[in-house]
Amino acid sequence: MPDITREDVEHIAKLARIKLTEEEKTKLTGELGSILTYVSKLNEIDTTGVEPTAQVTGLENVFRSDQAAPWYEGNPHDLVEAAPEHDGQYVKVKGVMEGK
């Protein structure tokens, strides 16, 4: 098992700006050591001739052309007038920052 010390865990916690209890430091010392042991085993595998893979599902992103499409061809003032509540040219809605 790679040597991970309590000081290493404390240093990582400081860099990540997280506070750990003494119990968490002890637990993470062992867990990080186990993770590094596993990664070192993976590094022993011969990957000659294996292409790097970012994902394995074969799915691809579907893109559409980026162009503006008019969704309403009428008078914008008609939309405001059709709203349940409006004030001049503005549609009135409940406040979202007031917690109501």
pLDDT of residue 69: 66
In this structure, are residues 13 and 19 in contact, taking their beta carbons and an 8 Å threshold? yes
Summarised one tens digit per residue, pLDDT across range 19-72 is: 999 999 999 999 999 999 999 998 899 989 988 888 788 888 888 887 776 666
Against a cut of 0.85, is the pTM above it?
A: no
Is residue 9 classed exposed, middle or buried when 0-12, 13-18 and 19+ CB atoms within 10 A define those classes? Answer: buried
From CA 28, how far away is CA 89, in angstroms rounded?
59
- For residue 10, give its domain range: 6-43
Given a cut of 90, is residue 89 above it in pLDDT? Answer: no
Q: How many domains does the chain have?
A: 1
Residues forming a β-bridge with 87: 90
